[in-house]
């Protein structure tokens, strides 16, 4: 990720597009199946009589046949603690009821222990099935040896090996210890099941932590308790980049329960510990009560004058100048615009900063002692966390142990581990284990925001309805050193590049003090809106149906190769970056399921104006097309009535329960972004303190959602994110259909849609 450069971080720890390229190269195919996954012989077997026998890094089997499968990736609500063990269990050929899932800490042997980019399924689909298959092969070989029969005459089912000619069976529990002491099989010899034989993959499986969740058991970071633990709060400057000058520490130290109050000078990297005041008390409530009495004199630094309105003005000034950088130039866009049959010229789109607002605020428990630190944290990216903690404390990364807890939401926020570094440092300075808990205001005011963006478009369509000219100026943000802010980049292959013969994309930048980062469907969650909104404008200008316009643009089914150079969009070196045939199919499917061709003409019935909108986007290797029906009330309030989504994420939906759930959640989240969410910056700070100022969707806002997965002959890919981006422009396009009002700036403001 731009701006993240921890030398100790494994290449796979941060799911930026570029680092995942590396991850794809490192983890693709069977390359992952090295000795570390199989474990050396000394680490296999049972630890004692009656104990489970460890067959490899992922599989242990008890004498009772109960199978323990390790869950290596952070669980943030995406369901990975259920879906990855399903892969192992399927090829191991056991009953899901006999499986127990066990969390493991950060451990280099597991590789790719992060939750981001919807990559976990892509990265683990092959290796984890093979680890199940490897353990099964060892169990079969053991049984065949006991019976003195060829392995080929044996089969498995439901945790048993069967000798087919005689019908004899042996349970895995009786074989596991001996099997675990056999040589490990050659990964190349492992055979995997045909999809028709799946018994677990493809079945809806409930989350393995659900029983603990519905009974209130401690699972989350905020639930961690350590003997002797104190509670910490950390007060940072509300202006990004500000520093403590002085604070009334003596007064705070005298307050009930306060054990320590100190200033941390901090650094300038928001990924680490920045300047602030730590208060450590015997109870969290007392730490917070003391914080209410804290008075800090801040040096607000260079960004105290920044405002959202100022950024908008800056963009207008920059638009009058040449771009700072050309991103991509194909053909001759000005000539094509001049020759086009239909054009839309110089329209401006904008989207705001957004917060993650995970319901569990940032928190971390840390215990520094004797030059080493133990961390318990809700984190999406523990490897990066270890590196930043080591750097903050000036200790070696191997002195930092990280246990990942269940995360009360992630959405990209917990890819950064600033709270982890804070807790580690406060524990060291306080000389005690501490639990740091951010307030909701801290969480809103010290986020890594989805960067805002501005786009100016001109486009041209020929007489046949084909998009022939596309000109875009992107105005994004930069750091003081000139680097583009994290997730403010624009890749040269972004839609509709490679589909339009004459295209110019260029960019300019505004300096920004606020930290930025990935929010679910990063980049795509803004870019899908502007590109699909403008396509809808062009379709209407050309008198074309928006879906016909899309199908014409996509053209013949083909794979568009990744453009050469460092700024191409490739996610995986061995994956097609954009298959127009797959996209055409989901567009056709959503048209069919939504009854698009027969839909009522948009317009008013009494006081309610109804409309339908369409959009499509490829992100995180998933192909999604969506249709939305909205109602717009007389006063301008927008209600999303129904969403139809068609998706292609490959051959297999590993866990249909999780898959539907992720898509439903992403669609509702996108709806919230379209209709209400915005993080303003005022005087260098974010004025939001709580949920009243950040209107996330509530149950009454929930639309009916019709979701359809196409099954295609491609490896399965992830579903945490790709359903989100297209729903935003589909809503905006539906509002146009209903009202004739073109929304070019998010969030939609109902006052703009009111009938006067």
Site for another protein, rule CB under 8 A: 75-79, 204-207, 209-211, 213-220, 222-223, 225, 231, 256, 283-286, 289, 357-361, 406-411, 437, 439-440, 656-658, 660-662, 664-665, 668-669, 672, 690-692, 696-702, 704-708
Cβ closest to another protein, residue 266 vs residue 410: 410
Give me the residues paired with residue 404 across strands. Answer: 377
38 close to 118: Cβ distance less than 8 angstroms:
no
3-class DSSP state for residue 234?
A: strand
Cβ closest to another protein, residue 307 vs residue 689: 689
Cβ closest to another protein, residue 146 vs residue 593: 593
The distance of closest approach from Cβ of residue 628 to another protein in the complex, given in angstroms and rounded to an integer, is 16
**400-404 and 363-369: which strand pairing?**
unpaired
Give the DSSP H or E segment for 642.
Answer: strand 638-648
Cβ closest to another protein, residue 332 vs residue 631: 631
Cβ closest to another protein, residue 9 vs residue 291: 291
Cβ closest to another protein, residue 205 vs residue 336: 205
The distance of closest approach from Cβ of residue 626 to another protein in the complex, given in angstroms and rounded to an integer, is 15
Helices (H), 555-655: 580-594
CA 20 vs CA 112, 116, 118, 138, 331: distances in Å = 10, 10, 11, 33, 31
Q: What length does the chain have?
A: 756
The distance of closest approach from Cβ of residue 471 to another protein in the complex, given in angstroms and rounded to an integer, is 36
The distance of closest approach from Cβ of residue 656 to another protein in the complex, given in angstroms and rounded to an integer, is 8
The distance of closest approach from Cβ of residue 261 to another protein in the complex, given in angstroms and rounded to an integer, is 18
Cβ closest to another protein, residue 631 vs residue 706: 706
The distance of closest approach from Cβ of residue 254 to another protein in the complex, given in angstroms and rounded to an integer, is 15
Task: Give the residue among 590, 427, 441, 569 at the shortest CA–CA distance from 498.
Answer: 569
733 close to 615: Cβ distance less than 8 angstroms:
yes
CA 478 vs CA 18, 420, 487, 488, 516: distances in Å = 19, 26, 11, 8, 10
User: With left for phi above 0 and alpha for psi between -120 and 50, is residue 620 left, alpha or beta?
Assistant: left
Cβ closest to another protein, residue 55 vs residue 290: 290
Task: Give the residue among 647, 567, 713, 618 at the shortest CA–CA distance from 21.
Answer: 567
Cβ closest to another protein, residue 339 vs residue 588: 588
What residues have CB less than 8 Å from 7, skipping those under 6 apart? 387
Cβ closest to another protein, residue 698 vs residue 751: 698
The distance of closest approach from Cβ of residue 409 to another protein in the complex, given in angstroms and rounded to an integer, is 5
What is the rounded distance in angstroms from the CA atom of residue 316 to the CA atom of residue 296? 37
Cβ closest to another protein, residue 357 vs residue 415: 357
The distance of closest approach from Cβ of residue 231 to another protein in the complex, given in angstroms and rounded to an integer, is 8
Cβ closest to another protein, residue 81 vs residue 162: 81
The distance of closest approach from Cβ of residue 653 to another protein in the complex, given in angstroms and rounded to an integer, is 11
Q: Which long-range contacts (CB under 8 A, 24 or more apart) does 161-170 make?
A: 170/143, 170/146
- Alpha-carbon Rg of the chain, whole angstroms? 27
Question: Given the structure tokens 């359809």, which residue do they identify?
Answer: 708
3-class DSSP state for residue 631?
A: strand
The distance of closest approach from Cβ of residue 625 to another protein in the complex, given in angstroms and rounded to an integer, is 16
What residues have CB less than 8 Å from 200, skipping those under 6 apart? 86, 89, 90, 96
3-class DSSP state for residue 476?
A: strand
The distance of closest approach from Cβ of residue 211 to another protein in the complex, given in angstroms and rounded to an integer, is 7
590 close to 646: Cβ distance less than 8 angstroms:
yes
Token output for 459: 């486009």
Cβ closest to another protein, residue 190 vs residue 366: 366
The distance of closest approach from Cβ of residue 659 to another protein in the complex, given in angstroms and rounded to an integer, is 9
Omega cis (within 30) before 319: no
The distance of closest approach from Cβ of residue 288 to another protein in the complex, given in angstroms and rounded to an integer, is 8
Token output for 618: 């490829």
CA 331 vs CA 191, 335, 393, 491, 562: distances in Å = 49, 9, 53, 18, 18
Instruction: State the CB neighbour count (10 A cutoff) for residue 747.
Output: 18
């Amino acid at each position: 990720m731009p701006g993240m450069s921890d030398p100790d971080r494994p290449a796979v720890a941060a799911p930026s597009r570029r680092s995942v390229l590396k991850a794809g190269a490192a983890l693709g195919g069977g390359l992952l199946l090295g000795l570390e996954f199989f474990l050396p012989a000394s680490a296999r077997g049972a630890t004692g009589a009656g104990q489970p026998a460890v067959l490899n890094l992922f599989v242990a089997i008890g004498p009772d046949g109960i199978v323990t499968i390790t869950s290596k990736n952070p669980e943030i609500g995406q369901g990975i603690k259920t879906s990855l063990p399903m892969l192992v269990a399927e090829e191991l050929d056991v009953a899901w009821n006999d499986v127990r899932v066990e969390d493991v800490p950060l451990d280099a042997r597991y590789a790719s222990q992060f939750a981001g980019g919807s990559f976990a399924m892509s990265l683990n689909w092959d290796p984890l099935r093979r680890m199940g298959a490897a353990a099964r092969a060892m169990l079969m070989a053991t049984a065949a040896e006991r019976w003195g029969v060829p392995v080929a005459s044996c089969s498995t089912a439901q945790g048993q090996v069967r000798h087919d000619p005689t019908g004899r069976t042996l349970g895995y529990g009786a074989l596991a210890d001996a099997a675990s002491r056999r040589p490990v099989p050659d990964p190349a010899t492992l055979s995997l099941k045909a999809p028709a034989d799946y018994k677990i993959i493809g079945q809806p499986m409930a989350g393995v932590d659900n029983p603990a969740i519905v009974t209130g058991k401690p699972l989350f970071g905020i639930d961690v308790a350590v003997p002797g633990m104190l509670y910490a709060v950390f007060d940072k400057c509300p202006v990004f980049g500000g520093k403590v000058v002085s604070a009334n520490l003596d007064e705070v130290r005298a307050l009930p329960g306060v054990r320590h109050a100190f200033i941390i000078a901090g650094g300038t990297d928001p990924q680490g510990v920045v300047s602030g005041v730590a208060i450590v008390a015997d109870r969290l409530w007392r730490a917070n009560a003391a914080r209410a009495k804290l008075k800090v004199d801040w040096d607000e630094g260079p960004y105290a004058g920044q405002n959202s309105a100022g950024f908008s003005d800056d963009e207008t000034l920059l638009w009058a100048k040449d771009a700072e950088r050309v991103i991509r130039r194909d053909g001759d866009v000005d000539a094509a615009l001049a020759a086009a049959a239909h054009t839309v010229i110089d329209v401006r789109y904008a989207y705001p900063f957004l917060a993650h607002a995970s319901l569990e605020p940032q928190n971390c428990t840390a215990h520094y002692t004797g030059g080493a630190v133990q961390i318990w944290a809700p984190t999406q990216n523990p490897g990066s966390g270890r590196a930043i903690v080591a750097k903050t404390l000036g200790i070696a990364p191997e002195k930092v142990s990280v246990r990942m807890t269940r995360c009360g939401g992630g959405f990209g926020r917990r890819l950064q581990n600033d709270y982890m570094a804070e807790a580690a440092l406060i524990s060291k300075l306080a000389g005690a284990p501490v639990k740091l808990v951010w307030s909701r205001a801290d969480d809103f005011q010290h986020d890594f925001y989805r960067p805002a963006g501005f786009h100016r478009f001109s486009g041209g369509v020929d007489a046949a309805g084909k998009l022939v000219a596309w000109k875009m100026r992107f105005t994004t943000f930069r750091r003081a050193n000139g680097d583009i802010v994290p997730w403010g980049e624009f890749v040269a292959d972004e839609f509709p590049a490679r589909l339009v013969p004459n295209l110019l994309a260029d960019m300019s930048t505004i300096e920004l003090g606020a930290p930025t980062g990935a929010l679910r469907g990063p980049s795509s969650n803004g870019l899908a809106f502007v590109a699909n909104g403008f396509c809808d404008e062009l379709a209407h200008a050309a008198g074309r149906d928006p879906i016909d316009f899309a199908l014409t643009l996509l053209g013949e089914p083909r794979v568009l190769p990744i453009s050469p150079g460092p700024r191409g969009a490739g996610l995986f070196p061995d994956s097609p970056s954009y298959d127009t045939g797959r996209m055409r199919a989901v567009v056709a499917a959503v048209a069919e399921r939504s009854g698009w061709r027969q839909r009522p003409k948009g317009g008013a019935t009494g006081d309610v104006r109804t409309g339908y909108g369409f959009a499509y986007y490829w992100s995180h290797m998933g192909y999604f097309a969506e249709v939305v029906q909205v109602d717009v009330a007389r006063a301008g309030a927008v209600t999303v009535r129904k969403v139809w989504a068609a998706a292609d994420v490959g051959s297999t939906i590993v866990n249909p329960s999780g898959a539907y759930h992720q898509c439903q959640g992403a669609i509702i989240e996108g709806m919230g972004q379209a209709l209400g969410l915005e993080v303003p910056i005022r005087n260098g700070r974010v004025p939001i303190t709580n949920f009243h100022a950040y209107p996330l969707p509530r149950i009454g806002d929930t639309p009916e959602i019709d979701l359809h997965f196409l099954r295609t002959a491609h490896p399965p890919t992830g579903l945490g994110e790709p359903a989100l981006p297209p729903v935003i422009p589909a809503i905006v396009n539906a509002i146009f259909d209903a009202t004739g009002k073109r929304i070019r700036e998010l969030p939609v403001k109902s006052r703009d849609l009111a009938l006067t």
